[in-house]
Amino acid sequence: MALLFVSAVEDPEPYRQEFIRLLPGEDFRIWPEAGDRAEVEFLLVWRPPRGAMKGFPNLKAILNLGAGVDYVLADPDLPREVPLVRLVDTGLRDGMVEFVLHAVLHFHRQFHRYREFQQRKSWTKVPQVEAANRRIGILGFGHLGQAAARHLLALGFPVAGWSRTRKQVPGARSFAGADELGAFLGQSDILVCLAPLTNETEGIVNARTLAQLPKGSYLINAGRGGLAVEADVLAALSTGQLAGAALDVFRREPLPPESPFWTHPNVIVTPHIAAITLVGPAAREAADNIRRLRAGLAPNGLVDKAQGY
Do the domains spanning 2-89+277-294 and 90-269 agree at the CATH topology level? Answer: yes
Give me the pLDDT at residue 307, please: 92
Give me the pLDDT at residue 58, please: 98
Q: pLDDT band at residue 91, thresholds of 50, 70 and 90?
A: confident
In tens, the pLDDT along 69-90 reads 999 999 999 999 999 999 997 7
**Does domain 90-269 correspond to CATH entry 3.40.50.720?**
yes
Q: Which CATH architecture has domain 2-89+277-294?
A: 3-Layer(aba) Sandwich (3.40)
Answer yes or no: are the C-beta atoms of 238 and 245 closer than 8 Å.
Answer: no
92 vs 136, 222, 259, 278, 309, CA distance in Å? 21, 12, 28, 8, 16
In tens, the pLDDT along 219-278 reads 999 999 999 999 999 999 999 999 999 999 999 999 999 999 999 999 999 999 999 989
Average per-residue pLDDT for the chain: 97
How large is the average pLDDT for residues 146-154?
A: 99
Residues acting as catalytic residues: 224, 272
Least confident of 111-115, 207-211, 277-281: 277-281
Give me the pLDDT at residue 90, please: 72
**Torsion sign across C-alpha atoms 163, 220, 143, 287:** positive
Pairwise CA distance, residues 183 & 209, whole Å:
11
Query: For the chain, which residues make up each domain, given as ranges?
Result: 2-89+277-294, 90-269
What is the chain's length?
309
- In 10 A of CB 275, how many CB atoms? 26
